Structure 1
Amino acid sequence: MNHLVRFIQELQTKVDFSGAVMLQNGDGHAETVSFGYANRADRLKNNLETRFGIASGCKLFTAIAICQLVEKGRLTFNTKLKDCLDIEFPSFSEEITIHHLLTHTSGIPDYFDEDVMDDFEELWIKRPMYHIRSLKDFLPMFQDEQMKFSPGESFHYNNAGYILLGLIVAQASGMEFTEYVQENIFKKAGMKNSGYFSFDALPANTALGYIDLPDGNWKTNIYSLPVKGGSDGGAYVTVEDMTKLWKALFGQLLLSEETLNKLLTPHAQVNESGYYGYGVWIKKVDEQVFKYHVMGYDPGVSFHSAFYPASQTIAVVCSNKSSGAYDIMETIENSL
C-alpha cells in the first residue's frame, strides 16, 4: 500500500488536492496522508484529525437512523409519508412511502434540483442561508410545489426527500435529528470527533471549505451553505471516524443483519453499473458488488468514501475544496 501514497502525492501536485485520505485494508492496516490548509489565512495545515464537511455523504447516516427506527417498530419501510409526519403537503401524492424517500423515487419536488440549477449558492439569494438552522426551515422551499412524477416511477436524486426523512426520524424518536444521529450512530460507532456543527460555532481543527475563483482568488463557503447541516447533508467527520462508520455498519453494531441487507439492496437502478440502496450508492462489476459508496459535493466540499466487499478495504477521501476527492478516489481504485 505504500506505493499508493506515492501515487496520491504525485496526483496531488497535478490536481492541487487539499484534504485527508485514509485507506484501510481488511486486516486493519491503514495508510494515511493529508495535504493543504484547513485554514489558508492562518496557514494551519490539514491533518488526520481534521474534521471535514461531507455534504451529501451523510445521507447514509439518515438512512441508518430510519432503519434503526424500523427495527424498534416505530416505522416500516412501507409506512406512508402522510401517516408518519404531521405536516401538510397540499400537492403531494398520498402514496409516498418511506421506501420511496430513501431511494429517491418519491417524485416530490426538490428544493435544489440539479437539473434546473447548477450553482447551490443561487438558493440563498432570496432566502439567506443564516436563517437555515433546522430541518423545518427547508420546508417553505418545496412544501407547496407540485409532484414531478408518480411515486416509484423513476429515480431522481432528491435532497428534499432526505429532509423529510430527518423530520420523520425526529417525530418517531422524539429527539432532534442531529441529536439522534449523535447518540445512536456516532456514539455507537466510536466517532468521537464527528458532528453536525454550525458555521458560527465550529470546534477546533475543523477545515474551512474553500471556493477557488477563476482569477486566482478564493473565498470560504460560509455564505454558500446552510448554517448547520442536517439529514440531507452537512455533517463533519474525520477520515478515521468515517472508517469506523463502515466498520460499525458491516460489523452489525448499528443494524441487524436483516436490516443491513435491506439497506444494501440495490433498490433503484441509476445507470448501467450503478444502483442506489438506502442512503448508499452501489456499483456492480460483472454482476458482483464492486463497492458500496457515498459521496458529497458542495461549494468548498468534495468527499468520497467506499467499502469494497471483496477485499474488505475501506477508502475515505475528504477535501475542503469543491473538487479533488474524485481524482484521488480514482487513483485508489486503479491500485485496487
Structure 2
Amino acid sequence: MNNKEMEQIQALQKEITFSGAFSARGNHKQGSGSSGFANQSEKLENQVSTRFNMASGSQVFTAVAVCHLIEEGKLEFDTLLKDCLDITFPYFDEDITVKHLLLHTSGIPDYFEEETVRAYEDMWIQKPMYRMRKASDYLPLFQQKNMVSPVEAMFHANHAGYILLGLIIEQVSGMECSDYISQHVLQKAGMKDTGYFKLDELPERTAAGYIETKEGGFKTNQYSIPIKGGPDRGAYTTASDMVLFWEMLMGYKLLSEEMTTAFLEPRVSLSEYISYGYVGYIERKETEVVKYILMGYDPGTNFRSFYRLDQSLAVAVCSNKEEGAHEMIKKIEEVCIK
C-alpha cells in the first residue's frame, strides 16, 4: 500500500479508536499496522507481532485437522458420530455425520446460544471459566439435551458441534486436540506465533482482551472467556500468521489439492450471495466464488479475515476490543481493490 492508502486506514483507526493489528498481502498490495494498547494499564502498545484471541475464527484450524485425518484414511466425511466417538448422547439423531458437524447442520443443541457476547460472559458465573481446559469439559453443557432440529434441516452456527469434532480428533489420533492442531496445522503452516494458550500462562506479545463497562471504562476479559481455547474457539494468532495461513492453504501446503478443492467448495446456501463450506463463510457472485471469510466475536475479542480470489489477497484484522475489526477490514479491502 502506498502512503496515501495507509493514511486512509490510519485515519479510520483513529476515528473508531481501533485497538488491534492488521495485515494484508496480495498480488498488487501489501501492508500492515497496529494501534491501541495490548495492555492498557501499562500503556503497552499493540504491534503487528502482537497475538490476539480469535474467538470462533479458529474453528477453521479444527476443520483442516479433521480433513487431514480424512486424507489419512482414519475418518470419512460420512462417518457417523456414533461410530467415531465412544460417548453416549441419548437424545441425538443416529444419522449425524462428521460432515454435518463441520457444516453446522447436525441439529444438535449448542452449549450456548449467542444472542450477545455479554450473555456468553455471564455463562461463566455458574460454570467457572477456569475449569474449561479441554474439550470434554463442555460435555455436561449439552450432552443430555434434545435435538433442536432434524439433521440437515437448517444451518445453525453451533459451537458444540466443533467440541464434538475436537473429541473425534482426540479419539482418532490419540492426541489432545490442541496438540494435534498445533502439530498438523499450525506448525505445518509455519504459524510460529499461533497457539492455544491459557489465560493464566499467556506468552509474550499477547494482548489482553478489553470489555467496555457500564461506567464507560474498560475491564479485561480474563473472567469472561474459558481459560484455554479449544476446537470451537479461542486460539491466539497474529494478523501476519493468518495471512500466512491463507497462503499455505491456497498453495496446497496444508491439504492435498483434491482435499483443498473439497475444503473450499460452497456446500450450504445461506442467502443469495453467501454460502458455507468446510472453510467457513463464502461470498459468491452468481456461481463464482469471490472470497472466503472467517470471523469471531467474544467478550473482549473481535476477529475478521478473508481471502479474495481475484486478487490472491489475504487480509486479517485482530482486535482486543469487541468492535472495530469489521470496519477495518472493509476499509482495507476498499483500499486494496480500487
TM-score normalized by structure 2? 0.96
- Percent identity, please: 47
Q: CA deviation at 1:118?
A: 6.0
For 1:286 and 1:334, how far apart are their aligned partners in 2? 21
For 1:116 and 1:105, how far apart are their aligned partners in 2? 21
Alpha-carbon displacement from aligned partner over 1:48-91 (angstroms, at most 9, x marks no partner): 11111000111100000000000000000000000000111010
In structure 2, the partner of 1:325 is 325
For 2:50 and 2:117, how far apart are their aligned partners in 1? 31
In structure 1, the partner of 2:128 is 128
In structure 1, the partner of 2:8 is 7
In structure 2, the partner of 1:106 is 106
1:286 and 1:333, CA in 2 relative to 1: closer, same or farther beyond 3 A?
farther
AA aligned to 1:42 is: E
Alpha-carbon displacement from aligned partner over 1:218-270 (angstroms, at most 9, x marks no partner): 10001100000000010001111111111111111110111111111111112
Q: CA deviation at 1:114?
A: 2.2
For 1:143 and 1:59, how far apart are their aligned partners in 2? 20
For 2:153 and 2:238, how far apart are their aligned partners in 1? 37
For 2:126 and 2:111, how far apart are their aligned partners in 1? 13
Q: CA deviation at 1:334?
A: 2.4
Conserved in 1, the CA contact under 8 Å of 2:117 and 2:297?
no
- Let me know the Cα RMSD of the aligned residues: 1.3
Which deviates more from structure 2 when the two are superposed, residues 95-104 or residues 286-295? 286-295
In structure 2, the partner of 1:175 is 175
TM-score normalized by structure 1? 0.97
In the TM superposition, 1:229-308 aligns within 5 A as: 229-308=229-308
AA aligned to 1:87 is: I
Conserved in 1, the CA contact under 8 Å of 2:196 and 2:230?
yes
For 2:147 and 2:117, how far apart are their aligned partners in 1? 18
In structure 2, the partner of 1:146 is 146
For 1:238 and 1:333, how far apart are their aligned partners in 2? 19
Which deviates more from structure 2 when the two are superposed, residues 98-107 or residues 110-119? 110-119
Which deviates more from structure 2 when the two are superposed, residues 221-230 or residues 29-38? 29-38
Q: CA deviation at 1:115?
A: 4.9
Which deviates more from structure 2 when the two are superposed, residues 221-230 or residues 116-125? 116-125
Q: CA deviation at 1:167?
A: 0.6
For 2:137 and 2:175, how far apart are their aligned partners in 1? 17
Q: CA deviation at 1:116?
A: 8.8
Alpha-carbon displacement from aligned partner over 1:142-179 (angstroms, at most 9, x marks no partner): 00000011111110110000010011111111111000
For 2:241 and 2:15, how far apart are their aligned partners in 1? 28
Alpha-carbon displacement from aligned partner over 1:244-300 (angstroms, at most 9, x marks no partner): 111111111110111111111111112221111014110112432111011100000
SS in 1 for 2:38: strand
AA aligned to 2:121 is: E
1:5 and 1:117, CA in 2 relative to 1: closer, same or farther beyond 3 A?
closer
In structure 2, the partner of 1:56 is 56
Q: CA deviation at 1:101?
A: 0.3
AA aligned to 1:16 is: T
For 1:25 and 1:333, how far apart are their aligned partners in 2? 11
Alpha-carbon displacement from aligned partner over 1:197-236 (angstroms, at most 9, x marks no partner): 0000000110000011242211000110000000001000
For 1:263 and 1:115, how far apart are their aligned partners in 2? 29
AA aligned to 1:128 is: P
Q: CA deviation at 1:123?
A: 1.2
Q: CA deviation at 1:117?
A: 8.2
In structure 2, the partner of 1:97 is 97
AA aligned to 1:54 is: M
Conserved in 1, the CA contact under 8 Å of 2:243 and 2:314?
yes
Q: How many residues align?
A: 335
Conserved in 1, the CA contact under 8 Å of 2:279 and 2:292?
no
In structure 1, the partner of 2:77 is 77
Conserved in 2, the CA contact under 8 Å of 1:62 and 1:279?
no
Conserved in 1, the CA contact under 8 Å of 2:117 and 2:299?
no
Conserved in 2, the CA contact under 8 Å of 1:81 and 1:98?
yes
Structure 1 unaligned regions, length at least 5: none
Conserved in 1, the CA contact under 8 Å of 2:118 and 2:299?
no
Which deviates more from structure 2 when the two are superposed, residues 85-94 or residues 263-272? 263-272
